[in-house]
Structure 1
Amino acid sequence: MDDFQEVVMKGKHVFRVVFGVCLATGLTACGIGGMWMNGNPNATSHLVPPGHDWSKPDAGASARDTDWQACGGQRSGNISPDRQGATGKETADLSRDKLYAAQRCMLGKGYRYTGTCEGDIPSRYPACQSSSR
């Protein structure tokens, strides 16, 4: 009976070790703490703020940024809707409307859109509908 108990105890120890290794691997590889829990960090590394997608022969980055802000954009080059009390859909609509207004404004100031027009959403941008593209 002593040999049997020794084998059972070794089996429990081996099980605990294997279970611990599997648990630790699962939690760090693609579970809690793994990079895929927060999304692929490389997926958005190439994104440029919409205010930086404009060029004009006689205007540098500083002038472009100033004009972008005058058109309703933020200093960072992004767009931020006034979403005070707005629902998710209303926030998205406000953001789209503000982006479209800023694009029309930049076109009116003589800028050329250098961003992409590929895809269902970008193809609808006023900047992509412009003949100066």
Structure 2
Amino acid sequence: MTDLEDDGHAISYQVLRRGTTVRSADGVELGTVRRAHEAKREHIFDGIDVDTPDGLRFLDAPEVARIAERFVTTTFPAAEKAAHLVDRGSRIARVLGNTTTARRAKRAGERARDRWDRR
């Protein structure tokens, strides 16, 4: 790896920034990070939503080899991306899931779940 391809220091999924590039194991850009998921009750990394040219896809945690400052690297080559990047649902569900009301409801539900877990 040259200095130009250095992906930086390894970081936690909790500080992974939206827009970080997702690369395959062979260095091909697959998309960018939209959101990292956490299994709330277990406090473990669950996966990443990836914006790709084909739409929003989900990358499961076991298929992530490394999370670094500049890149997220997968465990599979670019030729196998269709088998590993899972579609996140219908177009209508994506549109409705991105409305202001839906986002507020999700946040309210997450806060209620967090309060319940801390009781």
TM-score of Structure 1 vs Structure 2, range by shorter chain: under 0.3
* TM-score (norm: length of structure 2): 0.23
Larger radius of gyration: 1
Structure 1 or 2: more strand by fraction: 2
More helix per residue = 1
State the TM-score, normalizing by the size of structure 1: 0.21
